[in-house]
Amino acid sequence: MTDLTIKSYKDLIVWQKGYELVKLVYKITSGLPQSEIYALQSQIRRAVVSIVSNIAEGNSRKTTKDYSHFLNMAYGSAAELETQLFLCKDLYSLDVQECLTLLEEVSKMLRVIINKLESSN
């Protein structure tokens, strides 16, 4: 029998995919103009880091309610990131499709986990 126990937030597929998204977003946003370093680039990078950070913090919490709260924060950061990626595409013609596809996957996974946690209470 396989041990499916989550020993760390790093075992969560949603965190792993979110971590890949962080690396991809950093790569893409390096193509923004110098004038955006302290504006859009900084905001985008904070949003994507917030996703994986909140997943990690939530997983370390003792209660389901706390875990759900932090996953909801991650989900909100995902929506924020999506908006910012649209801006990158529309204002600077950056190809953000790969980011958007991975972000959609992470967002869906978060929503499923949140729904399961909230329905168990």
| 98 contacts 23 by C-beta, under 8 angstroms | no
| Distant-in-sequence, close-in-space partners of 80: CB < 8 Å, separation ≥ 6 | 47
Q: What is the pLDDT of residue 46?
A: 98
Q: What is the pLDDT of residue 79?
A: 98
Q: What tokens were used for 73?
A: 């924060």
Q: What is the pLDDT of residue 120?
A: 83
Q: What is the pLDDT of residue 53?
A: 98
Q: What is the pLDDT of residue 1?
A: 35
Q: What is the pLDDT of residue 121?
A: 65
Average pLDDT per block of 10 residues along the chain, 121 residues long: 67 97 97 95 98 96 94 98 98 97 98 94 65
Q: What is the pLDDT of residue 74?
A: 98
Q: What is the pLDDT of residue 62?
A: 86
Query: What structural domains does the chain harbor?
Result: 41-121 (1.20.1440.60)
Q: What is the pLDDT of residue 33?
A: 95
How far is residue 90's CA from residue 100's CA, in Å, rounded to a whole number?
14
Residue type, 17: K
